[in-house]
């Protein structure tokens, strides 16, 4: 098998693994990719990422805990989770096609940015009070449950909200806070 054919086959397999939902949560763990593609899977993902760039998509890596400051080790990559996400954001009107009302997105943006400013944890009551200033009460509770169910927010036993796996995969925290402060 030529080198080109080898990579073509591996990229096809990586695409199937990353695009199709296989577990309750989307995405694939690094060790699963290693088992399916071999130990050079980071290289294969890089090639796939280059292909996806033309479609404004990307292979997103979400590390366990803090993102490593330097080049991640293979062990860190094996424990990380990989997703395919949109690369450069999208017009807010397109969110409607994804089943999100403008209220829902604004509420999510508010909740996420408030939690970030509170060092990653904020009481649910405080976040709900903030949302109630712009949204009707019944919608606030409904939306909050939706954010939690989708994995954007998590809630602990002391009713503290935190940023859950989906926010870590989909939202650029730093850029969000910077954009808000610029307004």
> What residues line the site for another protein (CB under 8 A)?
19-21, 26-27, 57-58, 60, 83-92, 94-95, 98, 102-103, 105-106, 108-110, 112-114, 116-119, 121-123, 130, 133-134, 158, 160, 166, 169-177, 179-181, 183
Which CB sits closer to another protein, 44 or 57?
Answer: 57
Q: How far is the CB of 3 from another protein (least distance, A)?
A: 28
Alpha helices in 62-136 (DSSP H): 74-79, 102-117, 124-132
Q: How far is the CB of 102 from another protein (least distance, A)?
A: 5
Please state at what angle helix 41-53 crosses helix 3-19, rounded to 10 degrees. 80
Closest by Cα among 25, 61, 39, 58 to 154: 25
Which CB sits closer to another protein, 47 or 109?
Answer: 109
Give CA–CA dist 169/81, Å, rounded. 9
Cβ neighbors of 114 (< 8 A, separation 6 or more) are 122, 126, 127, 130
Length of the chain: 183
Give CA–CA dist 72/74, Å, rounded. 7
Which CB sits closer to another protein, 33 or 84?
Answer: 84
Closest by Cα among 88, 68, 89 to 80: 68
Q: How far is the CB of 80 from another protein (least distance, A)?
A: 15
Q: How far is the CB of 2 from another protein (least distance, A)?
A: 28
Which CB sits closer to another protein, 6 or 26?
Answer: 26
Q: How far is the CB of 164 from another protein (least distance, A)?
A: 13
Q: How far is the CB of 163 from another protein (least distance, A)?
A: 11
Which CB sits closer to another protein, 75 or 125?
Answer: 125
Buried b (16+ CB within 10 A) or exposed e, 87-114: beeeeeeeeeeeeeeeebeebbebbbbe
Which CB sits closer to another protein, 5 or 53?
Answer: 53
């Amino acid at each position: 098998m030529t080198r080109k054919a080898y990579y073509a086959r591996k990229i096809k397999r990586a695409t199937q693994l990353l695009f199709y939902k296989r577990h309750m949560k989307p995405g694939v763990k690094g060790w699963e990719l290693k088992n399916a593609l071999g130990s050079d899977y980071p290289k294969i993902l890089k090639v796939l990422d280059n292909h996806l760039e033309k479609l404004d998509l990307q292979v997103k890596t979400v590390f366990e805990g803090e993102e490593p400051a330097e080049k991640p080790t293979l062990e860190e990559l094996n424990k990380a989770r990989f997703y395919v996400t949109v690369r450069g954001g999208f017009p807010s009107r397109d969110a409607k096609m994804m089943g999100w009302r403008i209220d829902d997105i604004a509420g999510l943006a508010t909740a996420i940015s408030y939690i970030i400013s509170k060092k990653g944890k904020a009481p649910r009551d405080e976040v709900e009070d903030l949302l109630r200033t712009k949204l009707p009460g019944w919608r606030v509770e409904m939306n909050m449950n939706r954010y939690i169910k989708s994995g954007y927010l998590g809630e602990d036993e002391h009713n503290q909200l935190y940023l859950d796996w989906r926010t870590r995969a989909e939202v650029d925290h730093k850029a969000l806070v910077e954009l808000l402060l610029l307004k």
